[in-house]
Amino acid sequence: MNLTSIAALVALLVLMSGLRIAREYQRAVVFRLGRYTGLRGPGLFWLIPLGIENQVRIDLRVVTAPIEQQETITRDSVTVKVNAVLWYRVSDPQKAVLNVENFRVAVQQVALTSLRNVIGQHDLDEVLKARDQINRILSRNVVENITPWGVAVELLEMKDVEIPQDMQRVMAMEAEAMREKRARIIKADAELEASKKLAEAAQLMVGNPAALELRRMQMVAEVGAENNSTTVIMMPAEFVHMAGSLSKFLQGKEAPTEPAA
């Protein structure tokens, strides 16, 4: 093998060493002698070998980044521990490489800071009940900060909110008191409605004595249906007064007469 063949073989190997393959979800940010030249991929592409051109590969798939638990104070001075989950993806590989040193760490820190700030601007009740609203505020804050880095937020949601045990007991007592309040209000409303119905019924019975008598007989039948040993008989007041007068009369007749002196 002569020198020409050897040189050709070496040149071929050098040229082949510049071949690169990027997968469908990857893009290569190419630099030539340190200057940005463009994006390559997906598929097969070629870089000038011998270090003249080099690449930085960026994954375009959605990344799931758990946000570690943060202990912060709400607006009403309650200490809570909150964690969340962030889903994001690279929308512009050029900005993700050129505008920030490590976009993954940067996005994580922005999400942590936004989470602490937003929780500190809301009361505990809002954190527990208005999660959707807080998630939207979090997403908006994160998007405003990371858009210049070529990163897009897919979703950001709080995963768990942990509150102190003492506060849990207080909230349980509050919930119990609210349920008791609603129960008393419902019972009072029922008694008010029943009293109105009873007043209407009394007005009807005043004008119709037969209705009052039928109601009295119905109550006696209801008492007897319970298999009780006691029977209650309801009588009109006139009859009771007449019976009392008769009893007094009979007692007066049975009284012994004293002999004459």
Mean pLDDT per 10-residue interval, the chain, length 261 residues: 80 86 93 92 90 92 90 86 92 93 92 90 86 90 92 90 79 81 89 84 73 71 63 59 66 55 43
**What pLDDT score does 206 carry?**
73
**One domain for residues 52 and 97:** no
**One domain for residues 33 and 120:** no
Residue 118 lies in a domain: yes
pTM of the model: 0.63
Residue 21 lies in a domain: yes
CA distance 125 to 233: 59
CA distance 226 to 255: 43
**One domain for residues 26 and 88:** no
**What pLDDT score does 152 carry?**
94
What range does the domain containing 42 cover? 10-59
Q: Which of 113, 131, 163 delimits the end of a domain?
A: 163
Residue 248 lies in a domain: no
Residue 46 lies in a domain: yes
Between the alpha carbon of residue 85 and those of residues 30, 122, 154, 209, 228, the distances in Å are: 32, 19, 11, 76, 68
Residue 119 lies in a domain: yes
